[in-house]
Copies of this chain bind each other. A is one copy, B any other.
Amino acid sequence: MKRTEISTLGEFGLIDRIAEKNTLRQASTLKSIGDDAAVIDNSDCMTVVSTDLLMEGIHFDLAYTPLRHLGYKAVVVNVSDIYAMNAVPKQITVSIGISNRISVEAIDELYEGIFQACKFYNVDLVGGDTTSSMSGLVISVTAIGQAAAEKLVYRNGASVGDIICVTGDLGAAYLGLQILIREKQIWQQHPDIQPELGESTYLIEKILKPEARKDMIELFANAGLRPTSMMDISDGLASELHHICKQSGVGVYIEEAQVPIHADAKMTAINFGLDPITCALSGGEDYELLFTVSPSDLEKVRYMPDIYIIGEITDKADGIKLHTEGGKIHPITAQGWVHF
């Protein structure tokens, strides 16, 4: 029998392969595979569903991830997908697979983080599954949200001339992770040396305890602004730009100088011998929002706090381009997280 390695397809290739064979039969399925979340029609309101699977050794390392933060983050990454649809998360389910290495106290800590996130994001834990695991800790979260049909924002709505924006700053989570990995290595070699994390609080918080941009969705609602397309930045800006462009059938032109990077992230990138813009483009897990607005909404976003205009939607034929601070124009290649 033929054996093709999954690495030859990559994560997105694998998802495309599954999606191609997928037949939809329910009239209520408005949106299936391919956006931040699925959309289900309930006549008067839409149900929005998103799910994530977090695996020990792939998505987190318990050596430097407190369980409380892990629980919190497991909720955040899911509600982030719901916000990315311009919807409001309402309920979550949490399933866990646990090895006998994990104690009841450890589970309590994990759920403390989950409940803290439920409180902050005003969502209810409504179900789940608990099972044992032969190996590491596995956490699967499904978030369910609601929105009126006309409020929903998909990845496929960007048009030529739209302004492209991001919230917050980018690359910080990736650099926070690099610091944690470095400190773990030092600790493994010299268990008596205390980790030096003091200077990097912001970066470490971005990787260990990120927040979803609930505030932005509320800001949009208050300003009567509906982005033309939107998604959350989990795999890195470059990868997400490719998603928006592919699904909207457009190109994009990004100004390097406008991509927001925190001062600590810039400094740390340089210390690691990395280019800050590369970290912002290809580092993942920022959970900021990438969105486009119609040029007629420019005045609405121009003075919104923590929103940065980074470029413009162009014709598909123009490709996905970065105008560097040095004045050159480079194609932006998608990287995302390479799991496989």
Q: Which residues of A are at the interface with B, using a C-beta cutoff of 8 A?
A: 1-9, 11, 14-15, 17-18, 21-26, 28-29, 31-33, 37-38, 40, 42-45, 47, 49-59, 90-91, 93, 95-98, 100, 102-105, 107-108, 111, 115, 118-119, 122-136, 138, 140, 142, 144, 146, 339-340
Contacts and interface: CB of A to CB of B under 8 A. Distances in A.
A21 B115 contact: yes
The interface centre, meaning the residue of A43, A53, A58, A107 with most chain B CB atoms within 10 A of its CB, is A53
A284 to B, nearest CB: 13
**Chain copies in the assembled complex:** 2
Given A4-B104, A6-B100, A24-B124, 18 more contacts: A14-B130, A22-B125, A28-B91, A28-B146, A29-B124, A32-B126, A49-B93, A51-B128, A52-B129, A53-B95, A53-B97, A53-B129, A53-B140, A55-B97, A97-B138, A98-B340, A132-B340, A138-B138
A24 B107 CA distance: 20
A134 B128 CA distance: 23
A61 to B, nearest CB: 11
Given A49-B127, A115-B21, A126-B49, A138 B33 contact: no
A37 B47 CA distance: 16
